[in-house]
Amino acid sequence: MNTVGHKQNAAPTVRDIVIVLIVLGSVWGFLEVGLGGAMKAGNIPYKGDILTGLGIGLMAIGFAFFRKPMVLIGIAAVAVMVRQMAVPMLHLSFFCKANSSLAVMLGGGALAGSVAVAGRRIGTSKASRVAAGLSAGLMAGIGFYFIGMRVAPCRYLMSFNRPGGFVAWMVAEGLIWAGLGAVFFPVGYLVGERTRDRVLGWRLTSPGFYYAASGAVIAFCWVASALAIAGGY
């Protein structure tokens, strides 16, 4: 009886959605800046692919919490804000970070579309979760090729601007995004499903800890990201 009552009392509010959205988006942004910068400095391959997979996993946690596709776009938007801190800090053009931001937003939009199409099957079918992650990665890869070519294409992307380039891009990147989405979305969803009631329950049982911990994670991610940007990452 207490468990049922606890779950009912822990029903998410708009404030919960905003807080979790900002927390997950801030973590994703920090990974894009900090981990991405470290991987680039270490010449670690598949940097963008790994970050895409991690982003899908974080969005999956948010979706498991609230089952609202638009939350995924909000998480991606916060990650982009963290990424774009480099523009005012380093006095860069907005387009210097346009393609990386585009990749993040396409990932959020593609995943939101995938889970919206899947509907309630996401909550009951593991196969639907795999399919949602896979299709999101695939759609993001396709969208990034065609839109990225026209926004602010980097040298790497431009290397695929040739006859047969789209097929080569999908083999080199798009299929990897799809595979990582098929793995990270179900994993992230499982994490979110198993932690949802506990995390949202803290708002009732330990509100001070709930808000302090959320604020601390957000502050850490933004400050650490700013320091990483200032340090050349």
The secondary structure of 14-46 as a DSSP string is HHHHHHHHHHHHHHHHHIIIIIHHHHHHTT-TT
Tell whether the model's pLDDT for residue 7 goes beyond 60. no
Instruction: Give residue 100's pLDDT band: very low, low, confident or very high (50, 70, 90).
Output: confident
Compute the average pLDDT of residues 84-93.
Answer: 82
Q: Is the pLDDT of residue 2 over 80?
A: no
pLDDT exceeds cutoff 50 at 1: no
- Output the pTM of the full model: 0.90
Q: What is the pLDDT of residue 232?
A: 75
The whole-number pLDDT of residue 5 equals 42
Task: Say if residues 191 and 62 touch (Cβ distance below 8 Å).
Answer: no
CA 77 vs. chain centroid, Å, equals 9
Please name the residues in contact with 179: beta carbons below 8 A apart, sequence gap of 6 or more.
134, 137
pLDDT at residue 8 greater than cutoff 80: no
Any idea where the domains of the chain sit in the sequence? 2-230
pLDDT at residue 95 in the model: 66
Q: For the segment 112-163, what is each residue's pLDDT rounded down to a tens digit?
A: 999 999 999 999 999 999 999 999 999 999 999 999 888 877 888 899 999 9
Q: For 17-74, write each residue's pLDDT tens digit.
A: 999 999 999 999 999 999 998 998 888 888 889 999 999 999 999 999 999 999 999 9
